[in-house]
Amino acid sequence: MIGYFSKYGEYKPFISDLPSQDLGLVVVIPTYNEPNLKESLQSLLSCKIPNCSVEVISVINYPIESSQEVIENAYFCIEKVKDVNQLSSNPRLKFSYILAADLPKKQAGVGLARKIGMDEAAWRFFSINNPKGVITCYDADSDCMTNYLVELVNLWKNYPKTQACSIRYEHPMNGTEFDECIYKGITLYELHLRFYNQASRFIKFPFAYHTIGSSMACSVEAYVKFGGMNRHQAGEDFYFLQKIIPHGYFRELNSTCVYPSPRPSFRVPFGTGRAMTKYQQNPEESILTYNFNSFLTLIPLFENIDFFYNSESQIIEEWAINLHPALVLFLSNYSYLQKIAEIKANTGNLESFRKRFFFWFDAFMLLKYLNFANENHFQRKPVEEESITLANRIGLKLPENPNPIDILKSYREKENH
């Protein structure tokens, strides 16, 4: 852990109060121009407390040259953190904040805010010599089950080698807080996320897990080992977890649940908020997802890794002619024959070869291929259509003429049990 912080010179902690010696869990909440922070904090205040101390750190942030309204909101949020901390009757649950003001515009965003908070959490664990502490990410407009804190601690208690986990999540499919079209849109968007995950598992891609920023956690040991959080203004959760997942000891925590908000947002270039904003502009159109057939083109590639290990480049090239043209072109663009030869030269057995192959053809490469294939050879389709197609392939039970809520409930049931 010392090595991680030495990269930045002398680390100067934001929070002056010393952590409790039994600190076991830190919840980090990036907070920017947030009207509902108190409700999010109260959801954590309502949680059962585990047999260790818990800290909730809100990283209240804004970029340089922010409007007066944004700056005033930051100080409003500070008061809300103080209010909730006073409401906490349990000395093992503390609420604190970091004011990250005037951040550089090019770096300001959810990634940097998470990094500031997670670095602070790591430092606090380091200061009490606890490399087994857990850092969990939450959002300033999320809600959760009351067993959220307890189940996170129990996961690492029962499986101490766990490096990170994704946490069960469910967006609200109905309600009164938002317009009806937002609930319809978030149902379709979550269906897209679950379709992508299940389609990836169907083709036996080994790193198919959800990477949702408001519902992920890691050990502090893994956090520093894999270089900490990045500064991406969107997709920071995907990039962070996909550094860890290929190395194993990644789990899914389904015994609790986070309820992220479906709130539209212009804050990030992609993700839930931007998807809802886009859908709100054209609510009559469905959300498009990747053509299921583009996933299927990868099956022969993933099924023949043993063949690659035991064959010369010329034989592999002749075999690859039978792959889908989209995949052949994509692989050629990434010099796949040279890459396979390089992997083979640096591995001594088939198991190591398979592992290194998927270090190359990782989650980033899968996403690149699907974007390439669906832009050049396939056509994206409405998520309802493709999710029904996949549901039939994996044996999900759907009612006759299912609506998006029916389909999503079926996917949730499969993934959460």
Last residue of a domain, one of 286, 303, 334: 286
Write down how long the chain is.
417
Structural domain of 315: 293-376
| Total structural domains within the chain | 2
DSSP of 186-208, one letter per residue?
A: HHHHHHHHHHHHHHHHHTT-TT-
Residues 266 and 196 in one domain: yes
Question: Are residues 126 and 219 both part of a single domain?
Answer: yes
Axis-axis angle for helices 110-127, 236-244 (nearest 10): 40
Q: Does residue 12 form part of some domain?
A: no
Given this model, what pLDDT does residue 232 score? 80
pLDDT reported for residue 380: 96
Sheet holding 164-169, edge to edge: 93-103, 53-63, 23-31, 134-137, 216-219, 164-169, 250-259, 143-144
Q: How far apart are CA 400 and CA 398, in angstroms?
A: 7
Structural domain contains residue 74 = yes
Buried b (16+ CB within 10 A) or exposed e, 304-323: ebeebbebeeeebeeebeeb
pTM summary value: 0.93
| H or E segment to which residue 296 belongs | helix 292-296
Q: Which of 259, 286, 313 is the last residue of a domain?
A: 286
Clarify whether residues 90 and 109 are in a common domain: yes
In this structure, the answer to whether residues 215 and 148 fall within a common structural domain is yes
Closest CA to 25 of 248, 218, 244: 218
Q: Answer yes or no: do 311 and 219 share one domain.
A: no
Please check whether residues 199 and 347 belong to one and the same domain.
Answer: no
* pLDDT (0 to 100) of residue 137: 97
DSSP track, 301-352? HHHTHHHHHTS-HHHHHHHHTTS-HHHHHHHHHTTHHHHHHHHHHT-SSHHH
Regarding whether 129 and 262 lie in a shared domain, the answer is yes
Residues 105, 189, single domain; the answer is yes
The tokens for 319 are 């075999």
Cβ neighbours, 10 Å, residue 48 = 12
Q: What is the pLDDT along the chain (417 residues), one digit of tens a residue?
A: 667 877 666 788 999 999 999 999 999 999 999 999 999 999 999 999 999 999 999 999 999 999 999 999 999 999 999 999 999 999 999 999 999 999 998 888 889 999 999 999 999 999 999 999 999 999 999 999 999 999 999 999 999 999 999 999 999 999 888 888 889 999 999 999 999 999 999 999 999 999 998 999 999 999 999 999 888 867 888 889 999 999 999 999 999 999 998 876 655 555 676 776 676 677 667 889 999 999 999 999 999 999 999 999 999 999 999 999 999 999 999 999 999 999 999 999 999 999 999 999 999 999 999 999 999 999 999 999 999 999 999 999 999 999 999 999 999 999 987
pLDDT value of position 178: 84
Note whether 199 and 282 are same-domain residues. Answer: yes
pLDDT at 109: 87
pLDDT of the residue at 278: 75
Please check whether residue 240 lies inside any domain of the structure. yes
Q: Examine residue 396 and state whether it is found in any structural domain, yes or no.
A: no
Q: Give domain status of residue 158, yes or no.
A: yes
Q: Is residue 398 part of a domain?
A: no
**Co-location of 275 and 302 in the same domain:** no
| Predicted pLDDT of residue 220 | 97
The verdict on 167 and 312 lying in the same domain is: no
Note whether residue 69 is domain-resident. Answer: yes
Same domain, 210 and 282: yes
Establish if 14 belongs to a structural domain: no
Please list, residue by residue across 70-97, b when 16 or more beta carbons sit within 10 angstroms of its beta carbon and e when fewer do. Answer: eeebbeebbebbeebbeebeeebbbbbb
The domain spanning residue 37 has which CATH number?
3.90.550.10
In this prediction, residue 5 carries a pLDDT of: 79
For residue 273, the model assigns a pLDDT of 63
Nearest Cα to 221, choosing from 254, 249, 242, 258?
Answer: 249
